[in-house]
Structure 1
Amino acid sequence: MSKNLGKENHKKEGNISIISATSLEKVVASVNIYGAVDAVAFEGFILKEVLPKIKEGDCLIMDNAKIHLGEMVREIIEQEKARLIYLPPYSPEFSPIENFWSKVKAILRKLKARTYKDLIEGIELAMLEVTQKDIRNWFTHCCYCTS
C-alpha cells in the first residue's frame, strides 16, 4: 500500500512576493513578484506604481525594512512634496498595511490555492474583499486621524 494514498503530490513552486500600497480609500498599487523583493524591485514599484498616484501633502508610511530605506526612495517621494514617515522598529501596531495583509492572507488560506495560477487569482480575489471601510478602520485602529 502506498504511503501517499489520498494525498496529492505537488511540486513546490517558488515564492510569490506582493508589494502593495493603500490610501484611506483603496489599494493604490499592488504588484506580484515571483521570488523575493529586493531594493531594486521596491524602487521600481515606487517609481512606476506609487509615484504617479501621489500628490503634494500625501504621507507614505513604511516600516524599517531594509528595502524601504534606500536614499532613492526618500528622494523621489520628497520631490513630489509628499512626506515619508518611517515607523519605529518593531511597531507593526502602527502599520495599517499589516491588518490588510492579515485579511488577505486569511482569505488566501481559505482558498487553498495549490498552483501559481490559482494563487495569482486568489490574490486578486482576496484584495477585492478588502473594503474602504476595512482600510479606514485599520488606519483608525493604528491611531491615524481619518477625518
Structure 2
Amino acid sequence: LVYLPPYSPDFNPAEQAFSFIKAWLRRYESRVLDDLSRPDLIDEAAQAITPELAQSWAINCGYDWGDENEGN
C-alpha cells in the first residue's frame, strides 16, 4: 500500500492522457470548421493514444507494468 496525497496528478496516467489530448487538439485546432466537427476531432485525438503511450504513462507514474513477454 502506497500513501498518496488526496490529489496527485503526477501519479495519475489519466492526467497525462488528458494533457496529450489537449495538446493534440491545440496542434490541430485549425481543422475545426464548425461546432459539429469538434466531437470528431476529440475522437480522433483519443484514437491517437496508442497502447505504448498508455503503458509509458503508467510506468512514468510509478506503476509496475512487469515484463510484457513474461510467461512466453
Q: Is 1:120 paired with 2:39?
A: yes
Shift, 1:89, TM fit: 2.1
Return 5+ residue gaps in structure 1 as ranges: 1-86
* AA of the residue aligned to 1:95: N
Distance of 2:13 and 2:6 partners within structure 1: 15
Q: Is 1:88 paired with 2:43?
A: no
Tell me the equivalent position of 1:107: 24
After the TM superposition, which residues 71-82 of structure 1 pair with which residues of structure 2 at under 5 Å, given as runs? none
After the TM superposition, which residues 1-147 of structure 1 pair with which residues of structure 2 at under 5 Å, given as runs? 88-112=5-29, 113=32, 115-147=34-66
Superposition RMSD in Å? 1.5
More helix by share: 2
2:46 counterpart SS class: helix
Cα deviation code 1:53-106 (max 9, x no counterpart): xxxxxxxxxxxxxxxxxxxxxxxxxxxxxxxxxx52231110000110111111
Aligned residues: 61
1:130 counterpart SS class: coil
State the TM-score, normalizing by the size of structure 1: 0.39
Q: Which of structures 1 and 2 has the bigger CA Rg?
A: 1
Distance of 2:55 and 2:13 partners within structure 1: 9
1:100 counterpart SS class: helix
Identity score, percent: 33
More strand by share: 1
Distance of 2:17 and 2:33 partners within structure 1: 22
